[in-house]
Amino acid sequence: MNRQTVDPAALDDPAAIEAADPGGMLRQVASSAAQIREAGRAAVEAGIDRLAEDGRPRAIVVAGMGGSGISGDVLAAVCGLGCPVPIVTVRGYQLPGWVGAADLVIAVSCSGGTEETLAVATEAARRGARLLFVGGADSPLAAMAAQTRALFVPVRSAGQPRATLWGLTVPLLLAARTLGLADVQDDTLEATATLLEDVSHRCRPASEAFVNPAKRIALELAGDVPMVWGTSPLAGTAAYRFCCQLNENAKYPGVYGDLPEVDHNQVVAFDGFFARSGGGSDDPDDFFRDRTEDADHGLHLVVLRDLDEHPQVLKRREVSVELARARGVAVTEIAAEGEHPLERIATLIALGDYVTVYLAIALGVDPTPVSAIQELKARIA
């Protein structure tokens, strides 16, 4: 992609930004703090505390796809590696064979009609697993909850499932709290909501690019191939979310990973075709050499930094960044904010959400529609 296809001026005028975002994706992203507060109330009103009556499950399986499925990854990240119960996210039609009556299956679907999630929920009910359903009211998932006597938490969509992340995730966090698996108190939820409001203020459309971190990073990424790395399992989940948002909001590719694993594979790409200063042959007439060495764009390493990094990972991060820069690979580092795991992952995700919407607008892309997904669904129906 050439720089000529990018319009930095598109991010200068709030009115132009609003016109370029007819589906209101920026408004949907800005609703994150309100979602935390509303979802917390909805979960309590639905009786989330009743999950404790049958004790702690052997395992938690979260079934969900796309923007709903990421809620299971966030749950696992917030509970952390010390969680005494394994948390597994299932993205597909089949429930693992080991799942049974001793396990809690949480089906999450913003629409309440996701076919893969409904298939897994049906199988979980057949096996007698404990059930928690989270999703749209008056939906097939809600009807299944009534039929199976599953606990159901209704969620009001922010517009798109990917923009309703916190509405879908907070009930899961409160379920984990009820089961003694996560220390997510009400004041933690409120502190996280407050941090998200602060991120929204910094990333608001009226804030100019030189002080708006999301606009600045979007313009830095435009035309490059982003490799998004997290420096912990928690930040790795945020990296995955970042790339999903690149795909859906900006219609743009992205490669995600986390340290230390990426230092055993992805780091080698710094020496390859998309590196600004590497790759190609010694033949000056070689087409691939021209594309690689003369292009203004190439790989762009985005490092999502957690505050809780393993000492060896800290060393690997520093050296990896040095290797990238020495090879002409652009580097952007984003640090988590807050102390609690929920605060840290929420701030990383929030900034990424804004970056990807602004990138879409700078590229002249409407961030809301997902036409390819809708066409695919229609063709397999």
Return the pLDDT at 296.
Answer: 66
Return the pLDDT at 294.
Answer: 43
In which order are the strands placed within the sheet that holds 60-63? 87-90, 60-63, 104-109, 130-135, 151-154
d(CA 106, CA 172): 8
CB 151 within 8 A of CB 144: no
H helix and E strand count, the chain: 14, 9
- Note the pTM of the prediction, 2 decimals: 0.93
Looking only at the bridges linking them, the beta strands covering 299-305 and 255-258 are: unpaired
* In the block, residue with structure tokens 């930095």: 8
CB 63 within 8 A of CB 114: no
Residue 305 CA from chain centroid, whole number: 15
d(CA 337, CA 342): 10
Return the pLDDT at 275.
Answer: 84
- Stretches in the chain below the pLDDT threshold 50: 1-4, 278-294
Name the nearest CA neighbour of 46 among 134, 166, 164, 162: 134
Q: Model confidence over 164-194: pLDDT tens digits? A: 999 999 999 999 999 999 999 999 999 999 9
Return the pLDDT at 7.
Answer: 83
CB 72 within 8 A of CB 106: yes
Q: Which residues of 19-29 are buried (b: 16+ CB within 10 A; e: fewer)?
A: ebbeebbbebb
CB 351 within 8 A of CB 203: yes
Cβ contacts of 86 within 8 Å, gap of 6 or more: 59, 60
d(CA 46, CA 71): 19
* Coil, helix or strand at residue 278: coil
